[in-house]
Chain A
C-alpha cells in the first residue's frame, strides 16, 4: 500500500513540468498557432532558472526569469508565424533547435554545479491529513500547488471569460472573429506568449526543483510529449492533468523498474512508446466524439483574403 502511495506521490512532481507546458500549448493552439518549439522554450527556461538561482541564490527569481525567457522565445515564433506568416512547423522546429543549442552554450558553466537553494516541500496544514489523497496531493512543493491553481485559472479563463471566447473564436475562424472586431494578431501574440511563459516555467521546475541540476539536453523529449498531451487533452486544460500525470507515472515507473534488471535503455523507451499509444487513443476519441483541433491550427491568417 505504501509502495503505491509512494509512486503516486512521486508521480505529481514528475508530471508537473509537463502539465505547465501543456497548459501553455493548449492556449497557443487554441488561438490557431502551432508552436513546435516547446522543447526549445522548456530547455531555455531550465537553463535560465538554474543559472539565475545559482547566481542569486533566489529560487523564485530563477523561476520568474525562466518565465520571461520562455515568453521571449515564444515571441520569436509569434513574430515568424503571425507577422511574417512563415511556415509554423518550420519556425517551431527552428525554435527547438535554437533552444537546445543556446542552452548548451549558456549552460556549459553550470554542468555539475550543485544548487544550494532549493524549493522544499510545503505540506498544507489540514489538507495533507485527508486520507489517501491528502499526502499525495498536498505534501508537495509550492510550485506544484501553483500548477494546480494555474490549471483552474486556465480552465476558467478559457471557458468563462470574454478573453476565452475571443481566443477560441480566433482559433476556430479568424475571419469571423476579425469581422466581429476582435484583434486577431493581438490575441494570437498573447496566446503564444502565454504558451512560452508556461513552457519556461515547466523547464524551471525541471532544473531547480525536480532534478535539481543542469544537464545539457535535460528536457530529453519532454517538449514533444507536451505536444502529445495537448492533443490527448483535446485542448482542454482540465484534461491536461490526466495526460501529464499519466506520463509522470511512466517516468516514476521507469525508475522503480530499474532494480529489476531490465536494461535502462529499454526503460528509457517507455515514455516515447507511450506517447504514440496515447496519440492513438486521442485519435480514436477525436473521431468518435466528432471533435477536432482548432480549425485554423497552423494556417496563417491573411486579412486580405476577406
Chain B
C-alpha cells in the first residue's frame, strides 16, 4: 500500500518536474501551455474533429502493438509498418488498378496495405524465430529503412510530374479517396474499421484459443513451452497481425488525408512511436486503447497548436509523451510482464 502511494507521488513528481523543465527552457508558463493544448484539442468542434482524425492511426497501431506486447514480443516497428502500408496502397492505386471503381478499389487498398505492413513486421519476427535476433533493434532499424524508402520513392521513381517539383506522388483519383464526415478530415471508413477491429481483437484475446495462447506466452513463456504451444508460430502470427493493423493506419493516412504519397515525416508524425505509449497506458486492453488514442490524438493536435501560438518546438509534445510513459512505468502498469529479450535460460 505504501509502495502504491510512493509510486503515485513519484510519477506526479516526474510530470511536475517535466513541466517545470519546459518552463525553464522556453519561458512559457505551464498553465498557459496546458490551456492552449486542451482548448485547441478539445475546446471546439474543429479541435475535436482533428483530435479524432489523429486518433485513428493511433488506434490501429496501438491495437496491433498491444497484441505483440501481450505476448511479450516487442514490435517497435509500427512506424515503418504504417509507412509500408501507405506505400502498398499508393502502389495499387497509381500503378495497378487506377481505373477500378470505388467499391473495388478501397477494400483492395486496405487489404494490400495490411499485407505490406504485415510482411514488413514479419521480417523481425522471422529473424527472431530463425536466428534469435533481437526484435526490438531489428524492428526499429526497419522503421529507418521504411522512412528512407518512402522518401526515395517520392523524390525518385514515384515523384509526380504535375506537382511543381514537390516530393509528392501523383494525386489519387477520387475513386481512391476515402469519404470524410462533412468538412472535417475524419475519414470514417478507417475509423469504423478501427472500432470493429478493436472488438474483434477483444474477442480474439479473451474468447479464443489464440488469445489464450498469446496471454499464456506473455505471462509465462516456460509454462507455454511445457504446455506444448507452438511459440514460434504464435510469434509470427502476432507480428503479422500487428504489422497488418499498422499498415491499415498507413492506408487511412494516404487515402483519407493526403490523397498521395509524400515524405515520411509528412505522412506520420511519429504515430508508430506514440502508439507504444497508447498501448501501455491503455493497459494493453483493446477497448481502453480506443479511449487512450483519443487522448493522445488530442495531445498531437495540442502539440501543433503550441508550436504555432506559443512558438514552442515540435519536440515539446514528444517530451510530454515521454513523461507520460515514465508515469505509466513508475505506476507499475507494466510490472506484470517481465520479458527478457534475448535467449531465455531454458533455451540454452
A90 within 8 A of B: yes
B330 within 8 A of A: yes
- Are A104 and B132 in contact, CB atoms less than 8 angstroms apart? no
Query: Contact check: which of B26, B133, B328 meets A276 at CB < 8 Å?
Result: B133
Q: Which A residues are CB-close (under 8 A) to B273?
A: 97
Known contacts: A263-B152, A265-B152. The answer to whether A104 contacts B133 by CB under 8 A is no
Give the segment of A60-68, A188-196, A293-301 that binds chain B: A293-301
Which B residues fall within an 8 A CB radius of A?
7, 21-22, 25-26, 74, 76, 127, 131-134, 136-138, 140-142, 144-145, 148-149, 151-152, 155-156, 273, 276-277, 280, 312-323, 325-326, 328-330, 332, 334-335, 337-343, 345, 348
Cα–Cα, bound, A185→B21 (Å):
29
Cα–Cα, bound, A266→B151 (Å):
9
Give the segment of A117-125, A202-210, A223-231, A243-251 that binds chain B: A223-231
Give the segment of A3-11, A79-87, A139-147, A149-157 that binds chain B: A79-87
Q: Could you tell me the dominant secondary structure of chain A's interface residues? A: helix
Interface centre among A85, A91, A94, A284 (most CB of B within 10 A): A94
A268 within 8 A of B: yes
- Are B332 and A86 in contact, CB atoms less than 8 angstroms apart? yes
Cα–Cα, bound, A91→B25 (Å):
24
Query: Contact check: which of B319, B338, B348 meets A300 at CB < 8 Å?
Result: B338
- Are A105 and B26 in contact, CB atoms less than 8 angstroms apart? yes
- Are A275 and B315 in contact, CB atoms less than 8 angstroms apart? no
**A75-120 residues at the B interface, CB under 8 angstroms:** 76, 80, 84-87, 89-91, 93-94, 97-98, 100-106, 108
- Are A297 and B342 in contact, CB atoms less than 8 angstroms apart? yes
- Are A105 and B316 in contact, CB atoms less than 8 angstroms apart? yes
Known contacts: A216-B315, A221-B144, A283-B132. The answer to whether A299 contacts B338 by CB under 8 A is yes
Known contacts: A265-B151, A266-B148. The answer to whether A295 contacts B345 by CB under 8 A is yes
- Are A103 and B315 in contact, CB atoms less than 8 angstroms apart? yes
With an 8 Å Cβ cutoff, the count of chain A residues facing the other chain is 52
Known contacts: A84-B330, A90-B329, A269-B148. The answer to whether A280 contacts B338 by CB under 8 A is no
Question: How far is the CB of B314 from the nearest CB of chain A, in Å?
Answer: 7
Q: Which B residues are CB-close (under 8 A) to A280?
A: 127, 131, 133
- Are A90 and B280 in contact, CB atoms less than 8 angstroms apart? yes
Chain B, residue nearest A85 (CB): B335
A161 within 8 A of B: no
**29 residue pairs from A and B, CB less than 8 Å apart:** A36-B136, A76-B326, A80-B330, A84-B329, A85-B335, A89-B339, A90-B329, A90-B334, A91-B326, A93-B276, A94-B326, A97-B321, A97-B322, A100-B318, A102-B322, A105-B21, A105-B312, A105-B316, A106-B25, A224-B141, A227-B134, A265-B149, A268-B148, A276-B133, A280-B131, A284-B131, A287-B132, A292-B348, A297-B342
- Are A275 and B141 in contact, CB atoms less than 8 angstroms apart? yes
- Are A90 and B325 in contact, CB atoms less than 8 angstroms apart? yes
Cα–Cα, bound, A167→B341 (Å):
20
Cα–Cα, bound, A97→B280 (Å):
15
Cα–Cα, bound, A299→B341 (Å):
9
Query: Contact check: which of A231, A287, A298 meets B339 at CB < 8 Å?
Result: A298
Question: How far is the CB of B21 from the nearest CB of chain A, in Å?
Answer: 7
- Are B326 and A297 in contact, CB atoms less than 8 angstroms apart? no
Which A residues fall within an 8 A CB radius of B?
34, 36, 76, 80, 84-87, 89-91, 93-94, 97-98, 100-106, 108, 216, 220-221, 224, 227-228, 231, 263, 265-266, 268-269, 272-273, 275-276, 279-280, 283-284, 286-287, 292-293, 295, 297-300
Cα–Cα, bound, A76→B348 (Å):
32
Interface centre among B137, B277, B314, B334 (most CB of A within 10 A): B137
Question: How far is the CB of B82 from the nearest CB of chain A, in Å?
Answer: 17
Query: Contact check: which of A86, A216, A228, A269 meets B145 at CB < 8 Å?
Result: A269
Q: Could you tell me the dominant secondary structure of chain B's interface residues? A: helix
- Are A102 and B319 in contact, CB atoms less than 8 angstroms apart? yes
- Are B334 and A86 in contact, CB atoms less than 8 angstroms apart? yes
Chain B, residue nearest A227 (CB): B137
- Are A276 and B127 in contact, CB atoms less than 8 angstroms apart? yes
Chain A, residue nearest B323 (CB): A98
Query: Contact check: which of B151, B152, B315, B325 meets A100 at CB < 8 Å?
Result: B315
Question: How far is the CB of A58 from the nearest CB of chain B, in Å?
Answer: 22
Known contacts: A283-B132, A299-B338. The answer to whether A105 contacts B137 by CB under 8 A is no
Question: How far is the CB of A106 from the nearest CB of chain B, in Å?
Answer: 5
- Are A265 and B141 in contact, CB atoms less than 8 angstroms apart? no
Q: Which B residues are CB-close (under 8 A) to A298?
A: 339-342
- Are A265 and B148 in contact, CB atoms less than 8 angstroms apart? yes
Chain A, residue nearest B342 (CB): A293
Q: Which A residues are CB-close (under 8 A) to B334?
A: 86-87, 90
Question: How far is the CB of A22 from the nearest CB of chain B, in Å?
Answer: 13
Chain B, residue nearest A224 (CB): B140
- Are A104 and B345 in contact, CB atoms less than 8 angstroms apart? no
- Are B131 and A97 in contact, CB atoms less than 8 angstroms apart? no
Q: Which A residues are CB-close (under 8 A) to B322?
A: 94, 97-98, 100-102
- Are B144 and A293 in contact, CB atoms less than 8 angstroms apart? no
- Are B141 and A221 in contact, CB atoms less than 8 angstroms apart? yes
Given contacts A268-B148, A299-B340, 14 further A-B contacts (CB under 8 A): A89-B136, A91-B329, A97-B322, A98-B323, A100-B315, A104-B315, A105-B21, A105-B22, A105-B26, A265-B152, A265-B155, A273-B145, A279-B133, A279-B137
- Are B141 and A272 in contact, CB atoms less than 8 angstroms apart? yes
Cα–Cα, bound, A125→B145 (Å):
43
- Are A87 and B136 in contact, CB atoms less than 8 angstroms apart? no
- Are B134 and A279 in contact, CB atoms less than 8 angstroms apart? yes
Q: Which B residues are CB-close (under 8 A) to A273?
A: 141, 145
- Are B314 and A104 in contact, CB atoms less than 8 angstroms apart? yes
Question: How far is the CB of B73 from the nearest CB of chain A, in Å?
Answer: 11
Cα–Cα, bound, A297→B340 (Å):
7
